[in-house]
Amino acid sequence: MILQSLRLSLLVVSITTVVIAVAGTAFAYLLAKRRFRGREMLDALLTLPMVLPPTVTGYYLILLLGRRGVLGEPLYALTGWTVTFTWVAAVIASTVVALPLMIKSARAAIESVDPEYETASLLMGKSEIETFFRITIPLASKGILAGVILSFARAFGEFGATLMLAGNIPGETQTMPLAIYEAVAGGEDATARWLALILTGISVTVVYLTNRLSRPTPGR
């Protein structure tokens, strides 16, 4: 149970973190740099999972992706496959729940880059995309990295939305937080202790790293 859930958690959380790092940076760029209609609406929508109870987020995801869901139904009709109760659902649930942390952190970091650096780059003949990758991202890297680590931690501890969308199937969707719940509910104290200890250890390491990264470098 311990190794199985640890392995699954690590799989789910690594994919989630990669997806969040890429999508979160892209969303943060859109929200920070582009002026378009519904920009603040998009921000509010993406931030919503941060303030909603995860079970509510999970419930919405079922409405969207379940076999009868808005997207889930045509997907099932087309492929005969449903995302619910698979490890992919665990990835989706933790991505949606952890993404706001990444967006908040990365958007603030991107907005804090002095636009004159970007102007200087454009004036030297560089495109906006090249400027973003070679100037904005390096200058915002601390905030972006902090966002990645925070959302990693959040995804690692994801419980509610995952339970709703992915269920609690050992070896399939039972990540560590779910395994702890089951261990405690089933009176398996030793298992619960070990799981809790490992989870705490990883989270403490992550918070420590975040603090180190957000500290200003001496001499700057």
Alpha-carbon distance 39 to 105, whole Å?
17
138 belongs to the binding site for another protein (CB under 8 A):
yes
- Binder to another protein among 46, 135, 163, 202 (CB under 8 A)? 135
33 belongs to the binding site for another protein (CB under 8 A):
no
114 belongs to the binding site for another protein (CB under 8 A):
yes
| C-alpha distance across the termini of the chain, in Å | 48
- CA 42 to each of CA 28, 108, 122, 140, 151: distance values in angstroms, whole numbers, following the listed order: 11, 16, 27, 22, 19
Nearer to another protein, 71 or 120 (CB): 120
Quick one: CA torsion of 73, 79, 84, 86, rounded to 10 degrees?
-170
Least distance (Å) between residue 122 CB and another protein: 5
Nearer to another protein, 127 or 214 (CB): 127
Task: Name the nearest CA neighbour of 18 among 175, 155, 125.
Answer: 155
Alpha-carbon distance 46 to 40, whole Å?
10
Nearer to another protein, 134 or 193 (CB): 134
Least distance (Å) between residue 141 CB and another protein: 8
Q: Which stretch binds another protein (CB under 8 A): 3-11, 20-28, 92-100, 116-124?
A: 116-124
Least distance (Å) between residue 219 CB and another protein: 8
Least distance (Å) between residue 218 CB and another protein: 12
Alpha-carbon distance 160 to 53, whole Å?
8
Q: Which stretch binds another protein (CB under 8 A): 21-29, 126-134, 168-176, 184-192?
A: 126-134
- What residues contact residue 66 under an 8 Å CB cut-off, 6+ apart? 72, 82, 84
**Count of CB atoms situated within 10 Å of the CB of 152:** 25
- Binder to another protein among 119, 200, 211, 214 (CB under 8 A)? 119
By CB atoms closer than 10 A (0-12, 13-18, 19+), residue 213 is: middle
Nearer to another protein, 127 or 200 (CB): 127
134 belongs to the binding site for another protein (CB under 8 A):
yes
Q: Which stretch binds another protein (CB under 8 A): 74-82, 131-139, 192-200, 205-213?
A: 131-139
